[in-house]
């Protein structure tokens, strides 16, 4: 196993569910090596297992075969080393933003807790809204709070399961810029699931394209475009076409592709 530059290793991963006494294969032979600090985008058709893959990495769902290891330790249950942000913010409505972000912060002094909360509220641009409740925030602001709640535990990996899918187009673009700022500052490894091809290119260092169910890794495309990225540039348009074309290429599944 390579050390120092590869922190998340997914090997021969498989997952299936039993429905009406019939086994349905969801993921098959997934192999991914993700280096520390990388931003990985995962795209694929609905139902290909993208979100299930994230939940397995987070320790929320058991896998049938293979392994998921973070810095050499296998992930079998949820923990603070891996954070997750969902499409809906899932903030607790009866708690303020400050209380939501601090939820689950134990075994540290009150001084340290207050510092962490303050730092992360500033990080996501919510200073002044500490005592607001979720229903008093816009969708984008609520998602910022959800990101702060995930990051306050200092995870080594942050999983983003279509976190901007429910936002309007302008807010979505702004949130993409915000998550990039956070990524560049925190150097946290990030894995994004999205249906938005432009989003996958704008944010990712690499784009993992998954096949239809059972989900396999069909292709991995490096995004060799300098940041900040111009969505109207020729290079961006070319890569957009490459990703788009992969969804219509027959018999091109490579189930043992390794990043």
Q: What is the pTM of this model?
A: 0.90
* Angle at the Cα of 152 from the Cα atoms of 188 and 41, rounded to 5 degrees: 35
User: Under 8 Å CB-to-CB from 21, ≥6 apart: which residues?
Assistant: none
Report if residue 38 sits inside a domain. Answer: yes
Weakest-pLDDT range from 5-9, 13-17, 85-89, 112-116? 5-9
Predicted pLDDT at 5: 55
Predicted pLDDT at 108: 82
Give the DSSP H or E segment for 148: helix 139-151
Q: What span, in angstroms and rounded, lies between the C-alpha atoms of 47 and 29? A: 16
Report if residue 241 sits inside a domain. Answer: yes
Report if residue 71 sits inside a domain. Answer: yes
Give the DSSP H or E segment for 94: none
Report if residue 1 sits inside a domain. Answer: yes
What's the pLDDT tens digit per position in 2-48?
445 568 999 999 999 888 888 889 999 999 999 999 999 999 988 88
- CATH number of the CATH domain containing 14: 3.40.50.300
Positive or negative, the Cα torsion across 216, 50, 60, 36?
positive
Report if residue 242 sits inside a domain. Answer: yes
Give the DSSP H or E segment for 86: none
Report if residue 89 sits inside a domain. Answer: no
Give percent of the chain with pLDDT exceeding 90: 72
Report if residue 123 sits inside a domain. Answer: no
What's the pLDDT tens digit per position in 163-221?
998 888 998 999 999 999 999 999 999 999 999 999 999 999 999 999 988 999 999 99
Residue whose pair of structure tokens reads 């290119």 in the numeric block: 201
Predicted pLDDT at 6: 61
Beta bridge partners of 207: 41, 221
Is residue 129 a contact partner of residue 97, using CB atoms and an 8 Å limit? Answer: yes
Report if residue 259 sits inside a domain. Answer: yes
What is the average pLDDT value for the chain, to the nearest integer? 89
Identify the domain containing residue 228 by its residue range.
1-81+189-259
- Count the domains in the chain: 1
């Amino acid at each position: 196993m390579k050390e120092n530059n590869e922190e998340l290793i997914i090997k021969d991963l498989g997952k299936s569910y039993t429905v009406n006494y019939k086994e349905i294969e969801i993921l098959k032979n997934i192999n991914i090596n993700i280096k520390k600090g990388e931003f990985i985008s995962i795209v694929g058709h609905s139902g290909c297992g993208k979100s299930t893959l994230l939940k397995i990495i987070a320790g929320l769902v058991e896998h049938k075969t293979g392994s998921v290891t973070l810095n050499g330790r296998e992930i079998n249950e949820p923990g603070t080393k891996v954070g997750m942000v969902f499409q809906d913010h899932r903030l607790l409505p009866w708690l303020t933003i400050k209380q939501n972000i601090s939820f689950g912060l134990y075994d540290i002094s009150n001084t340290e807790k207050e510092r962490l909360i303050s730092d992360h509220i500033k990080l996501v641009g919510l200073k002044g809204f500490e005592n607001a409740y979720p229903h008093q925030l816009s969708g984008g602001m609520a998602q910022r709070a959800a990101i702060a709640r995930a990051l306050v535990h200092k995870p080594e990996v942050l999983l983003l399961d279509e976190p901007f899918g429910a936002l309007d187009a302008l807010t979505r673009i702004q949130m993409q810029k915000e998550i990039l700022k956070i990524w560049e500052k925190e150097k946290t490894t990030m894995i994004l699931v999205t249906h938005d091809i432009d989003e996958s290119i704008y944010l990712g260092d690499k784009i993992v394209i998954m096949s239809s169910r059972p989900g396999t890794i069909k292709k991995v495309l490096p995004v060799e475009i300098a940041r900040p990225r111009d969505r109207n540039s020729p290079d961006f348009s070319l890569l957009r076409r490459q990703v788009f074309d992969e969804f219509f290429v027959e018999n091109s599944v490579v189930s043992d592709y390794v990043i």
